[in-house]
Structure 1
């Protein structure tokens, strides 16, 4: 967990228009950033388990205790897409595998939005893996503890990707789902989750056999399955509900191809 990585920075575009900042906010919300960094970007403790550990998201604002003033856009992008922080140090429990394919345009709008939010004075919360968490990491059960080990740091990121109902774009959106549903999206126990958390569902074609495109999108929008049952925490349907119709249709198309 103390390993360091060398990542070559990529020039990140800056955005100032209200439309672009609004898209950055939607990306922050729909990609689940607030689950760890809170709705205002100030960070929060999202796992507090004696065995797994205590894990807190960083304060991403310009307030006291925040990291924004001490990071360039390029450094922030490396943290988001590579799971690597200042001085090459691995970020603990940063699910960068979810965001490693994010385009320069999307990550630029996300960062520009973060720079526009009001500063919040809030010191960094505790980040302390517990004994079981460390053991599970060592045997490969919780790779998200150091997601930087799972990422190709020499990859060239796309400048942009046009939102279309296509397999390519659906796969791009599906990256957001890998942190809980696994890289193959077949579900199972969520890595690093306390034992009381339910396992993630299989969201391949097999797991979604009882869904249609219409009921799939409706379930994401409402948090209710076709049979009327409610999606249980930690399924972040409230965040995913902010995905656009194009994103959800492309996601459905891609999931049906697996």
Structure 2
């Protein structure tokens, strides 16, 4: 039988199934806000949903991570909440552990479930160290008072998106493909946008990377493209440089521009070594049409 997952995807699934049981960094260790900022403003791209974009006249974006625009999809209308340390409308009264649980498990402090498009299917594999670093960065944001509306869904949210996340070890950078898979799944959640959505609200990983999902916004409607190694419909015929230009500059090989919500304005901050690893992983994604 043909391997429909590929080595990189097997690594990513192993991170969810095996690394959760491995010891991560010591519990309660302080996070590195500098690295957290690199992640938030790079591969993770939190502001792509949680910050109001610049206006049509090119005006300044809204306050950093103080809440984003409504995201209207076929199955839901979501409002990305305020992530600043404001005690009334943001995360100011949440503990570090509560923030990490919200990111990795989709659970608020009151026990309610957070819905899509937060990619819990992938964030469950976020390492302990990276989770703490992200929280450390969020703690340093300027508090902004901004109450965001509740999201609405056309399907019932599950009691949980998966088993509780205990501890997730770091993925070694010495294995370029493995670290690239970690970037594409647990950090960048690339396959969240580029894989079909199931009625459960999870992604169909048997069609991972095939694209096709529509995104509606102020820009109109865009469609996630096929990022598998298919040479006609995917990116199999693109050079490494062309893939990197699409990721970091939003430019296709023919010179045309990619549209939102592709977060190339954040991805341009990805370090060269990390970008190499990400492309190395994408080369392992099996071709699908």
Query: Do they fold alike, i.e. is TM over 0.5?
Result: yes
Question: Does the C-alpha gap of structure 1 residues 12 and 185 become closer, same or farther in structure 2, counting only changes over 3 Å?
Answer: farther
Structure 1, unmatched stretches of 5+, are 1-9, 139-144
Deviation at 1:165, TM superposition (A): 5.6
CA distance in 1, matches of 2:89, 2:29: 22
* TM-score, reference length from structure 1: 0.78
Indicate conservation of the 8 Å contact 1:164/1:246, yes or no. no
Indicate conservation of the 8 Å contact 1:42/1:66, yes or no. no
* TM-score, reference length from structure 2: 0.71
Calculate the aligned-residue CA RMSD, in Å. Answer: 2.5
CA offsets per residue over residues 198-252 of structure 1, 9 Å max, x none?
Answer: 2211111111123111221122222111111111222111122222222221111
Q: Which moved further from structure 2: 223-232 or 156-165? A: 156-165
Structure with more helix by fraction: 1
User: Which among 167, 172, 184 is matched to residue 174 of structure 1?
Assistant: 184
Aligned twin of 1:14 = 30
Aligned twin of 2:47 = 34
The aligned runs of 1:140-151 (5 Å cut-off) are 148-149=160-161, 151=162
Number of positions where the alignment pairs a residue of Structure 1 with one of Structure 2? 228
Aligned twin of 1:106 = 130
CA distance in 2, matches of 1:188, 1:147: 28
Question: Does the C-alpha gap of structure 1 residues 65 and 230 become closer, same or farther in structure 2, counting only changes over 3 Å?
Answer: same
Name the SS of the counterpart of 1:13 in structure 2. coil
Question: Does the C-alpha gap of structure 1 residues 210 and 100 become closer, same or farther in structure 2, counting only changes over 3 Å?
Answer: same
Aligned twin of 2:236 = 209
Name the SS of the counterpart of 1:198 in structure 2. strand
Indicate conservation of the 8 Å contact 2:105/2:164, yes or no. no
Aligned twin of 2:282 = 255
* Residue 61 (1) aligns with residue 69 (2): no
Deviation at 1:161, TM superposition (A): 2.8
